[in-house]
Amino acid sequence: MFRRALFLTLALPLLLRADDPPADTQVQHPDGDPVEYFGVATKATHVVFIIDRSSSMFFNPKDEPEKSKWLIMREGTLKAIDALKETTSFALFFFARETREWQPGFAKATAENRQAAKKYVEKTSTGGPTFLWMAIQRGFKYLSDLPPNEQANAKPALFILTDGKVHEDAELTIRAGIKPLLAKWKPILNVVSFEKDSPFLEQLAKENGGTLVCPLDKDFLKRK
């Protein structure tokens, strides 16, 4: 009797562990799929591409006589959309004086949705001034419009692409206005800037787990 009791005592933990699913099949808190834009890689469940379509994007950069900033943006954006995983939710819009949205909410990156987003990128044109703070607010609204259960599990990332310098007064406005949004959502924030010297945007990205990259700086990614 004693031996039987001892056997059950020793075997019971093994029997219980045998009923547990393998570690790699257990439900994990979502940390997102890989997302890459102009060489900047992160992981996210929800990604928003915020893209400058102001008039100056039409022109060629000083260091790139063969391609306009708009063409460089288009090539990089199409590549990023193509590489999205189907489980990733994404949103995409252009901004100048106002925003031009591909669609008003997030969409799963299915083959059909990726193709539709790419067509939207290809047909969009430039025009107008750069209203960056308005665009940033719109980017966060995509997150606010998510259902509560999806908000709770979201790991968001924002990619801002722009060629405009941020003036000091705009810096103060953005810094003050974005603070509560960052505190609430804790997104990874990355910036693609055609201005090599963008200290404000570079700091904003670094403070929020991201980085700033200049598509014209050929050695940038190597230095990183």
Beta bridge partners of 34: 43
Of 34, 33, 40, 35, whose CA–CA distance to 191 is shortest? 40
Of 112, 121, 129, whose CA–CA distance to 165 is shortest? 129
Tens place of pLDDT for every residue, the chain, 224 residues?
545 544 444 444 443 343 443 434 333 446 899 999 999 999 999 999 999 999 999 999 877 778 999 999 999 999 999 999 999 999 999 999 999 999 999 999 999 999 999 999 999 999 999 999 999 999 999 999 999 999 999 999 999 999 988 999 999 999 999 999 999 999 999 999 998 889 999 999 999 999 999 998 765 444 44
pLDDT at 7: 44
Tokens representing residue 166 in the block: 């941020």
Rg of the chain on CA atoms, in Å = 22
pLDDT at 131: 96
CA distance 121 to 11: 62
CA distance 120 to 174: 28
CA distance 188 to 43: 9
In CATH, the number for domain 30-223 is 3.40.50.410
pLDDT at 197: 86
pTM, rounded to two decimals: 0.84
CA distance 156 to 48: 8
Tokens representing residue 88 in the block: 């990733």
Distances (CA, A) of 13 to 1, 4, 6: 20, 15, 12
CA distance 98 to 120: 16
> Do residues 45 and 153 lie in contact, with contact meaning Cβ atoms separated by under 8 Å?
yes
pLDDT at 221: 40
pLDDT at 196: 82
> Do residues 106 and 73 lie in contact, with contact meaning Cβ atoms separated by under 8 Å?
no
